Chains A and B, each alone.
Chain A
Amino acid sequence: MTASRSFWVLVALSFAVATAVLLGLSFGVGVSLDAPTFALAAACVVMIWALRAMWGVVVALSRPAVETLIVEAEMAGALGRDSVGVAELREEKRRVLRAIKELEFDHAMGKLSDQDFKQIGDRYRLRAIEVIRELEPSEGAELHPLLAEHLAALRSATGKAAAS
């Protein structure tokens, strides 16, 4: 069962329980359907949610070993790499590209002289090229091995075609 489907099943179940509590109290015990009764039904629904969430902790802790290993391998992939350095470079790339856009907008609005725009813009563009070059190897390394192999084959095929 997918996560979203199980969520909707839980929603439906809680409303069913709330309705059952209200009907039970009304017809079974003869309680009038006033504000405290509705509050009690709501508390029952929330209790089901709380129990479901606590069950989630147990499920997570008792996840089958193979499944955990797969998730842990993915996580180790995310954590183990020199992620801080790459993340900083990506962040800088994003920041520099955004700064260039901003500079163009400020120039178009007349906040920067042509000379300043050219001087600052050139510096940003140079930095953007440097950062992208630094990032290229690590971004390539992120590709799935099969995809990297496929790309390499494509490149060599393109190279041969160009040579012939």
Chain B
Amino acid sequence: MNVATLGTISLLVLFALCLASIALAMLGAHRKSARLVEASVQATYAVAALAAFASSLIIYAFLADDFSIQYVHHTSDSAMPLFYKVTAFWGGLDGSLLFWVLLLSVFSALAVRANRRRHAEMIPHVVWLLALINLFFIGLLVFVKNPFEPFILTPDIGSNSRGLNPLLQNAYMVIHPPSLYLGYVSLAVPYAFGMAAVITGQVDSAWQQSVRRWTLFSWTFLTLGLILGGLWAYEELGWGGYWAWDPVENAGLIPWFTATAFLHSMMIQERRGMLKRWNVSLVILSFWLSIVGTFLTRSGVVQSVHAFGKDPQLAWIFGIFLIVILVGSFGVVAWRWNLLRSRAELESPLSREFAFMLNNWVLLAMAFFVLGSTIWPTFSEWFLDERITIRESHFNHYMVPGGIALLLLMGVGPLLAWRRTSTESLQRQFLIPLIIGSITTVVVMALQWVWLKGELGGEVPSAKQLGAAYRAHVWALSAFGLCGFTIATIVQEFARGIAVAKHNNPKLSLLDAGIRLLVRARRRYGGYIIHLGVVLMFFGIAGKSYGIERKVVVKPGDTVALGDYEIEHLGLRATEDWQKEMITAELGVLRDGQLVDVLTPARWWYFQLPDQPTTEVSRYMTVGEDVYASMQTVDLTTGSTQLRLFINPLVNWVWIGTIVMLFGSAICIGTRRKQGAEQ
């Protein structure tokens, strides 16, 4: 028996086992039969193990260069490095669906194992819901996209295998898709628990405690996946930016918005018993949007450099699945509508819950705006017979004010108390952040005055010129001011928390009090660390507003000015290795006449895809800015090189902010035992 046959059999058994798991769990829940429920739980574990077996088979097929399997032939070649052969598993459509099944099966097994005693009544429903989602994807593998599908004839196929797209042979691309998949797939767990809670009528916040860490996990991996995708685009595509509102990038961002909203709104239900309907709706939407993301990436309904290609059959299947999820889930919510009523009401707009609700509305509005704008070109093509292109500027026009509103709420929310905040308290809480925010804005405006003076060759700018400059950068100035305000809020929260800890136990040192605060109230202070990371990201994003871009054609020996730098073309190098031909330009980066770095942007021509050269970017990185160069075209006879040169101010703070965010998430995810001690 060959690998293709064994793999196909394992998928068929997987399908049957998943069906059995659904039947056993439904019957077990209906008859309240422990035996059937236990069997369905065991079937969940078996599905996970069998999915792992099928995945290990396809990895073996890649490593053994088994080109009798079509998927292996299309996404690998024998010359590819071992590392990329393993990652080619999820590099194509069929394999990515199997990877999806593997992750969902393992997550289902883990979630069921962790909660089967705590939520005994919910578990059979959780089992069948997760198995039903899994069944859909396994069904796709069995009937539509079998990754083990062999060639009917076995010609000499090893010699002309296509291999993994060279653009994807990049370290970021190795981590980026699995991160996004981890984020997408794990959103199924909160969905299943939310729906099980509604079905069983256990709609208090207990189910949220079981899924809070899962949602944080999803959120963390979605964040990581999105940022790594941005970093890949920044280093690989050569257009000087990291985010261009590409439909596939948006597909990951949309559920990120709703997951962020849910992480905030679940706190209101926990503390006040409010927003039960809202929270259930948010988990449904987050999961639904994760499937929308998968649909957008795999069906080809949107045009993107990242998409897997057009597949109308998949588009229809996913479309029907999306409608079933939406109608079924909200149908159940409508059935339990009265049970989901709130136990408390909003007491004052000057309360933290109101700030959280505003944050939720803004996040949801952003999610639906991005979703609408992403699919509008497709809809316009279907209904108006004309594909309307939505540009980056359209997204920025609406999303930048939305982002600024979120930044403001991030600074204001922690300063407000639950239920209501008194006037004296407002004054006391807001005074320092407001002063710091105002000082930051004034300092940034002063710096812009200095920058403008430099631009004018030392001449003092007129009021009109200064006004025009401020108007052009109004969002960046607001962002910098709000960054100052929000950082002051976070520092004040830490300082006052430490003061209270020290007051309660005067023997503690400052450091001990800080650590104690982080350990005992991980969720609150971990959340503040995440906020700090977001602020740093906003700081980096706002810097883009002051960027410089130049497109130049230069020959060896030429020098061009770029902001405070000069770029000197030092020459070209043509090299070759076993995989590709490379042409590299050497560019000297000079500041005040001194050589500070040599950039080496390049073009690579892979032998397997000679008509798709890749752009290799080179950067001179500092804390304040990046000097970024990419080579567009090159004429080897004359040495004439077309370059795109950029100064990207503060861009590295986006990556630093991400690391801080991930650190904060790790602190939050660690919460469990000390919940009672949390503040």
- A contact residues vs B (CB 8 Å cutoff): 35-36, 39-40, 42-43, 46-47, 49-50, 52-54, 56-57, 59-61, 63, 68, 71-72, 74-76, 78-79, 83-84, 87-88, 91-92, 94-95, 98-99, 101-103, 105-106, 108-113, 115-116, 120
A91 in contact with B205 given A50-B49, A50-B50, A79-B32 (CB within 8 Å): yes
A35-B500 Cα distance, complex, nearest whole Å: 57
Q: Which residues of chain A are within 8 angstroms of B50 by Cβ–Cβ distance?
A: 50, 53-54
What's the least CB distance linking A120 to chain B, in Å?
6
Q: Quick one: closest A residue to B44, CB to CB?
A: A53
- B contact residues vs A (CB 8 Å cutoff): 17, 20, 32-39, 41-43, 45-46, 48-50, 52-53, 56-57, 59-60, 63-64, 82, 120-121, 200-202, 204-206, 270-271, 273, 343, 415-422, 424-425, 428-429, 493, 496-497, 499-500, 503, 676, 678-679
A53-B493 Cα distance, complex, nearest whole Å: 49
What's the least CB distance linking B73 to chain A, in Å?
16
Tally of contacts, chain A with chain B, CB under 8 A: 149
Q: Which residues of chain A are within 8 angstroms of B678 by Cβ–Cβ distance?
A: 98, 101
A70-B520 Cα distance, complex, nearest whole Å: 40
A75 contact from B45, B120, B416, Cβ within 8 A: B120
What's the least CB distance linking B238 to chain A, in Å?
33
Q: Which residues of chain A are within 8 angstroms of B496 by Cβ–Cβ distance?
A: 109-110
Q: Which residues of chain B are within 8 angstroms of A63 by Cβ–Cβ distance?
A: 35, 38
Q: Is the CB of A110 within 8 A of B60?
A: no
Q: Is the CB of A75 within 8 A of B32?
A: yes
Q: Is the CB of A50 within 8 A of B500?
A: no
5 A-B pairs besides A49-B52, A111-B416, A116-B417 with CB distance below 8 A are: A46-B52, A74-B34, A105-B500, A106-B417, A110-B496
What's the least CB distance linking B450 to chain A, in Å?
38
Q: Which residues of chain B are within 8 angstroms of A54 by Cβ–Cβ distance?
A: 17, 46, 49-50
Q: Is the CB of B121 within 8 A of A79?
A: yes
Q: Is the CB of B417 within 8 A of A111?
A: yes
What's the least CB distance linking B258 to chain A, in Å?
24
A116-B343 Cα distance, complex, nearest whole Å: 21
Q: Which residues of chain B are within 8 angstroms of A35 by Cβ–Cβ distance?
A: 63, 82
A50-B493 Cα distance, complex, nearest whole Å: 50
A59 contact from B17, B42, B206, B271, Cβ within 8 A: B42
What's the least CB distance linking A130 to chain B, in Å?
13
Cross-chain pairs A/B with CB under 8 angstroms, 20 sampled: A36-B63, A39-B60, A43-B60, A49-B52, A50-B53, A53-B50, A57-B17, A59-B42, A61-B35, A61-B36, A79-B121, A95-B271, A98-B676, A98-B678, A106-B417, A109-B500, A110-B429, A111-B415, A111-B425, A113-B422
Describe A's contact surface by its main secondary structure.
Answer: helix
A43-B61 Cα distance, complex, nearest whole Å: 11
Q: Quick one: closest A residue to B37, CB to CB?
A: A75
Q: Is the CB of A87 within 8 A of B49?
A: no
Q: Quick one: closest B residue to A91, CB to CB?
A: B204
What's the least CB distance linking A67 to chain B, in Å?
9
Q: Is the CB of B418 within 8 A of A106?
A: yes
A109-B418 Cα distance, complex, nearest whole Å: 13
Q: Quick one: closest B residue to A107, CB to CB?
A: B417
Q: Which residues of chain A are within 8 angstroms of B204 by Cβ–Cβ distance?
A: 87-88, 91-92
Q: Is the CB of B39 within 8 A of A57?
A: yes
Q: Is the CB of A56 within 8 A of B45?
A: yes
Q: Which residues of chain A are within 8 angstroms of B36 by Cβ–Cβ distance?
A: 61
Q: Is the CB of A68 within 8 A of B418?
A: no
Q: Quick one: closest A residue to B60, CB to CB?
A: A39
Which 8 residue pairs across A and B have the least CB separation, nearest first? Answer: A53-B46, A56-B42, A50-B49, A36-B64, A60-B39, A43-B56, A91-B204, A39-B60
What's the least CB distance linking B86 to chain A, in Å?
9
A49 in contact with B49 given A40-B60, A75-B34 (CB within 8 Å): yes
B56 contact from A39, A76, A115, Cβ within 8 A: A39
Q: Is the CB of A43 within 8 A of B497?
A: no
Q: Which residues of chain B are within 8 angstroms of A112 by Cβ–Cβ distance?
A: 417, 421-422, 425
